[in-house]
């Protein structure tokens, strides 16, 4: 199916880049975190605080199931979506998975002052999360974009070229 799915760590730019590419392609933009918040009528932080991470993960998995039939969408995913192998399998069937790869230093800089919606960072170190997840992102993605030295426009260009080629 013809979708573009952005994966990567918190602060890697999945939402911003996703919105911009969707505009460029004339596709719809979906953001899994935002969809979960809208469906639950709660913020991600409230869901984590009230019901815990595992509940959030099951909401995330249910949403991925519901997205199966989506067409012509750019989907910005929550950073932990690849922790569930079933999610990755479904997303692969849906389209091209792109990993926006950024080193922890870049992620920390990008997240500056914007960790309120990232409850995992209350107790976990971004370096540790990166070390655990980087192999999963690499295994899941068809295209890996090293974003550390690229600006948003350059990232969009790399992805657009890949789609055209």
What residues line the site for ligand S3P (CB under 6 A)? 10, 14, 33, 44, 78-80, 118-120
CB of 164 to ligand S3P, least distance (A): 27
CB of 36 to ligand S3P, least distance (A): 8
Q: Token pair for residue 85? A: 């192998």
Cα separation of the two ends of the chain:
17
Q: Which is nearer to ligand S3P, 95 or 119 (CB)?
A: 119
Q: Which is nearer to ligand S3P, 80 or 95 (CB)?
A: 80
Closest CA to 77 of 44, 46, 34: 34
Q: Which is nearer to ligand S3P, 110 or 161 (CB)?
A: 110
Q: Token pair for residue 120? A: 């995992």
Query: Which strand (E) or helix (H) includes residue 95?
Result: strand 95-101
């Amino acid at each position: 199916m013809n979708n573009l799915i952005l994966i990567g760590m918190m602060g890697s730019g999945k939402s911003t880049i996703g919105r911009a590419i969707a505009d460029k392609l004339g596709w719809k933009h979906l953001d899994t975190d935002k969809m979960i918040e809208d469906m639950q009528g709660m913020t991600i932080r409230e869901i984590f605080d009230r019901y815990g991470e595992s509940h959030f993960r099951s909401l995330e998995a249910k949403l991925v199931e519901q997205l199966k039939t989506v067409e012509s969408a750019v989907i910005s995913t929550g950073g932990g979506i690849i922790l569930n192998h079933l999610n990755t399998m479904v997303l692969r069937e849906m389209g091209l998975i792109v990993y926006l790869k950024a080193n922890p230093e870049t992620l920390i800089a990008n997240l500056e002052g914007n960790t309120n919606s990232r409850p995992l960072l209350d107790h976990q170190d971004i370096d540790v999360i990166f070390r655990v997840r980087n192999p999963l992102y690499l295994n899941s993605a068809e295209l890996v974009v090293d974003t550390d030295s690229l600006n948003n426009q350059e990232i969009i260009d790399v992805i657009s070229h890949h789609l055209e080629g």
